[in-house]
């Protein structure tokens, strides 16, 4: 029996036992389920600034967890080893929500404030994130997402009450460019607007030479962000050759600094990364 995944704008129509584009969701008995549920490939106690979040519990640490898969296809993916992986191409360990929350609590003496779902695209493991968050929140643990924002309105609305903060990638500022990355521009903008005022949000744009490093595009992006709130922090990060762009050149430091100066004309908090 064919079933349609209603988590992200791809809306993959899957036959029985077929896995979606994201490599993490599967049709089982006519129902879309999270195939990577509890399958952890990466686990580390990170500084909160590494997410990156600069204005959410600064100088704290957070237990960061990742699985495999992604619902976009960026040629310059910085975490391609896990984002482009599936259950058979990368090693993983099963960690139940109960065990993950217990582990997060055990790290409190080392400064841990909660759980960050990151490294790959966490929202394709939606059910796992939601179940962990529902257990963690009553324990006073903070829930953080590092996400591409490719999630539809209804599931996002259901998850937000259990989230404290998110860093959302704003990879470019046009539908054409988002389409080239396998994403949907309007969905991401909607997710950002929907989260504002409900959780703490910060945005990240990885500056890729020849792709999204134009001044006019950045001005349009910053004007749009400021129309929601000029107090939303924006991180402009330097690209290094990865994945299908290994032969590209890194973003010049001067480019990131020049664009950050422009962004500051519109936004109160602008940070540079990887320089």
Hey, is 24 helix, strand or coil? coil
CATH number of the domain within which 108 lies: 3.20.20.70
Residue 202's beta-bridge partner residues?
167
CA–CA distance, 56 with 253 (Å, rounded to integer): 26
pLDDT in tens, 89-121: 999 999 999 999 999 999 999 999 999 999 999
Using a pLDDT cut of 70, give the percent of the chain over it.
100
Q: How many Å from the N-terminal Cα to the C-terminal Cα in the chain?
A: 50
pLDDT by residue (tens digit) across 137-170?
999 999 999 999 999 999 999 999 999 999 999 9
What tokens were used for 206?
């990885």
Peptide bond into 52 cis (omega under 30): yes
Structural domain boundaries enclosing 56: 3-273
Mean pLDDT score of the chain: 97
- The tokens of 178 are what? 């988002």
Closest CA to 221 of 188, 183, 182: 188
**Short-list 7, 266, 20, CA closest to 154:** 7
Q: Which residues neighbour 107 within 8 Å (Cβ) at sequence distance 6 or greater?
A: 45, 61, 63
Q: What is the count of structural domains for the chain?
A: 1
196 confidence band (pLDDT: 50, 70, 90): very high
Q: Within 13 Å of residue 84, how many CA atoms lie on the same side as its CB?
A: 13
Whole-model pTM above 0.75? yes
Local structure of residue 225 (DSSP, 8 states): H
Give the model's pLDDT for residue 205. 98
- For residue 247, give every residue at least 6 positions away whose Cβ sits within 8 Å of its Cβ, in sequence order, or none: 241
d(CA 18, CA 24): 10
At 1, the pLDDT band (50, 70, 90 cuts) reads: confident
| Lowest-confidence segment of 107-111, 126-130, 243-247 by average pLDDT | 243-247
């Amino acid at each position: 029996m064919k079933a349609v995944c209603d988590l992200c704008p791809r809306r993959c129509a899957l036959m029985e036992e077929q896995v979606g584009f994201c490599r993490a969701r599967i049709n089982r008995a006519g129902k879309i389920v999270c195939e990577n549920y509890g399958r952890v490939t990466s686990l580390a106690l990170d500084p909160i600034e590494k997410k990156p979040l600069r204005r959410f519990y600064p100088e704290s640490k957070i237990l960061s967890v990742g699985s495999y898969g992604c619902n976009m296809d960026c040629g310059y993916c910085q975490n391609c080893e896990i984002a482009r992986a599936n259950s058979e191409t990368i090693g993983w360990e099963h960690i139940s929500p109960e065990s993950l929350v217990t582990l997060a609590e055990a790290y409190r003496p080392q400064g841990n404030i909660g759980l960050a779902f990151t490294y790959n695209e966490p929202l394709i493991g939606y059910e796992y994130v939601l179940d962990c968050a529902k257990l963690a929140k009553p324990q006073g643990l903070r829930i953080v997402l590092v996400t591409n924002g490719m999630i539809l309105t209804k599931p996002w609305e259901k998850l937000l009450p259990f989230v404290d903060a998110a860093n959302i990638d704003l990879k470019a500022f046009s539908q054409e460019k988002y389409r080239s990355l396998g994403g949907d521009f309007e969905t991401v903008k909607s997710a950002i607007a929907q989260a504002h005022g409900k959780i703490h949000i910060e945005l990240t744009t990885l500056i890729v030479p020849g792709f999204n490093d134009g001044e006019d595009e950045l001005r349009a992006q910053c004007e749009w962000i400021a129309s929601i709130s000029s107090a939303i922090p924006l991180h402009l990060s330097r690209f290094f050759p990865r994945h299908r762009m290994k032969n590209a050149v890194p973003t010049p430091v001067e480019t990131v600094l020049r664009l950050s100066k422009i962004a500051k004309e519109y936004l109160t908090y602008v940070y540079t990364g990887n320089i």
